[in-house]
Amino acid sequence: MTSSAHEGAQGPHHASGAAPVALEAIGIVKRFPGVLANDDVNFDIQTGEVHTLLGENGAGKSTLASMLCGLYQPDAGRILRNGVPIELPSPRAGLQHGIAMVHQHFRLVDRFTVAENVVLGSRDLSFKLNRRELNDAVAAVADTYGLPVDPTATVGDLSVGQRQRVEIVKALYQGAEILLLDEPTAVLVPAEVEKLFENVHAMTQTGKSVVFISHKLGEVARISDRVTVLRNGCVTGHVASKGQADAKELARLMVGRDIDLAAQRASHPIGHEVLQIRDVNLTMNGVNVLSNISFNVHEGEMVGIAGVAGNGQRELADVIAGLLSPTSGTISIGGAMSTDRGPIAARELGLAYVPEDRLGVGLVPSMSILDNLLLTRDRNIVVDRASVMPEATRLIDEFEIKANGPEHMARKLSGGNAQKVLLARELSGGRTATKLLVVCSPTRGLDVGAIETVRRLLDDARSAGQAILLISEDLDEIMSLADRVLVIYRGAIVHETPGETASLEKVGAAMAGLTQGSA
Ligand SMILES: Nc1ncnc2c1ncn2[C@@H]1O[C@H](COP(=O)(O)OP(=O)(O)O)[C@@H](O)[C@H]1O
Ligand SMILES: [Mg+2]
């Protein structure tokens, strides 16, 4: 365990030349029924820094942040502000000490305007301002940190990324000096993440401190001045990072074992064509969703489709899976035509499919994990239940699915765990007939440990000769796994490159529609 600098300290510590400690938590303990959510946690934040709280789901990050902002009360421990012990009986008290948290689930009123939401709950002068002054005041705060928001917009009309900005503007408007951002990137697309990082930088430049909460190693390594890692409620390490923490070391502290997320490519020569897409067009409600799509995926090959969400990749997957019929063009799986034959025929031809919409299309919410695992097998469910029970238990264990056993209802699973059940079913080899695996964002929302498992299973499937189509917004994932990368933009394939030599810049530019000419 890496030790923190302030162990045994009774008050503020002033290492000569170091920035002042703005907020310090010492020996924080928090219990929930049956869970020790924070176990003797030490954490401090200096003025003008980004200090990340890193940990897997359930590690205790939100709990700690909730105590630092006054939402929860610790069972034991002390909190000091600028070296002075403080009490934080409520979020209002937190605000009075300049501490505000942007929660994972936003707390905005949909039918109010941005400006109204921002001043909601402020008991200062805002109520004396007329609407114009109010809008100007909110816009002024937003501009200072480069946060583009329209004060007059109705919050209900805003995207998730825009709502998050409103929450941040609100915290700043209320005078926050220390901002706790709870998994802010979880709801953002890559371009929005970049923008958020710029905003965070602008905030720290003016002396604000940011507690950044995340479980995504890549971004943590980039944005953090320091990282504190939590596992099962305990601090497993403090790492000084300055924007270049060692992701492998962070992963080890976070998961408790070595994690290998290195690039993996096909180690066997590729074989015959399994998936053949020829000139596929799809028009929905008069809009061209897919335009002249043609490509193949071979045995033992993984092809990645990169693209910003909403550029047709979801529909492309549904067309291959037989859930949508193309307006024109053909699709064949394993040499047999599957166009217009529906999802069951596609499965019979050897397709396994992990859709974007896990609970809508992938799992039956009202069924148990066990029955969901059996759903796509070509055997009789009633006969096989008992015999598959040990395998279901093993899969729950292997995929680290948090559930009370195989009879746990799918609808009671958290999003990440529902995803794991679906992946377990489609990747577990229960279907030996799988020739083609179509997976959409397979690791989104998963813990690092589970991400490693999923990547290994995909690699195993590839080595076993399955053809894999990986559709993901996670460019890092595509770049490190796919043998070939295709970029989809406005329904067309606009760029193609071998994964090995793919350039992040070129692929990123193609995703943004900045390619000259066409593929
Ligand atoms: N309000 C609560 N009531 C009961 N248990 C909770 C509550 N909040 C969190 N927990 C539990 O405390 C542990 C830590 O949760 P949390 O702080 O939300 O983790 P993280 O934010 O790192 O994902 C988990 O086991 C979680 O189930
Ligand atoms: Mg959390």
Separation CA 216–CA 195 (nearest Å): 17
Domain boundary among 254, 284, 309: 254
Looking at the fold, whether 177 and 290 belong to one and the same domain comes out as no
Nearest CA owner, ligand 1 atom 3: 32
Ligand 1 center to residue 38 CA distance, Å?
9
Please report whether residue 504 resides in a domain.
yes
* Count of the separate structural domains present in the chain: 3
Last residue of a domain, one of 411, 431, 451: 431
Q: Is the CB of 58 under 6 A from ligand 1?
A: yes
462 and 314 in a single domain? The answer is yes
Q: Given this model, what pLDDT does residue 31 score?
A: 96
* Pocket lining: 55 vs ligand 1, CB cutoff 6 Å: yes
User: Could you tell me if residue 260 is inside a domain?
Assistant: no
Q: Is the C-beta atom of 119 inside 6 A of ligand 1?
A: no
Give the chain's length. Answer: 519
CA of 213 to the centre of ligand 2 (A): 8
Q: What is the pLDDT of residue 148?
A: 86
One domain for residues 119 and 246: yes
Which ligand is nearest the CA of 186, by number? 2
Among 462, 427, 467, residue whose Cα is nearest residue 443: 427
Residue 32 belongs to a domain:
no
pLDDT in the model for residue 516: 54
Query: Same structural domain for residues 416 and 497?
Result: no
Residues 138 and 232 in one domain: yes
Output the pLDDT for position 8: 37
> Tokens 């890559």, residue?
190
Verify that 191 and 280 share a domain, yes or no.
no
Q: Are residues 138 and 282 in the same domain?
A: no
On whether the CB atoms of residues 26 and 203 are closer than 8 A, the answer is: no
Residue 195's closest CA among 162, 173, 225, 220? 162
Residue 228 near ligand 1, beta carbon < 6 Å = no
Residues 6+ apart with CB under 8 A from 265: 481, 483, 499, 500
Question: pLDDT digit string (tens) for 315-368?
Answer: 999 999 999 999 999 999 999 999 999 998 998 899 999 887 666 667 888 888
Same domain assignment for residues 190 and 200: yes
Residue 423 belongs to a domain: yes
Containing domain of residue 422, as a range? 364-431
Q: Rounded distance, CA 512 to CA 413, Å?
A: 35
Residue 75 lies inside a defined structural domain of this protein: no
Asked whether 59 lines ligand 1 (CB < 6 A), one says: yes
Instruction: Check which CATH number belongs to the domain holding 472 and give it.
Output: 3.40.50.300
Q: For position 94, what pLDDT does the model report?
A: 97
The pLDDT assigned to 173 comes to: 93
SS3 content of the chain, % helix, strand, coil (to 5): 35, 25, 40
Ligand 1 pocket member 165 (CB < 6 A) = no
Report pLDDT for 412.
Answer: 85
In contact, 406 and 393? CB cutoff 8 Å: yes
Q: From the alpha carbon of 60, which atom of ligand 1 is closest?
A: 17
Question: Which pLDDT score, from 0 to 100, does residue 518 have?
Answer: 43
User: pLDDT tens digit string along 19-67?
Assistant: 569 999 999 999 999 899 999 999 999 999 999 999 988 899 999 999 9
409 and 294 part of one domain: no
Written as one string, the DSSP assignment of 217-276 is HHHHHHH-SEEEEEETTEEEEEEE-TT---HHHHHHHHHSS----------S---SEEEE
Query: Domain ends where: 200, 227, 254?
Result: 254
Instruction: Give yes or no: residues 117 and 197 share one domain.
Output: yes
Q: Which ligand is nearest to the Cα of residue 402, counting in written order?
A: 1
What parts of the chain have a pLDDT lower than 70? 1-20, 123-128, 243-244, 357-361, 376-384, 429-432, 516-519
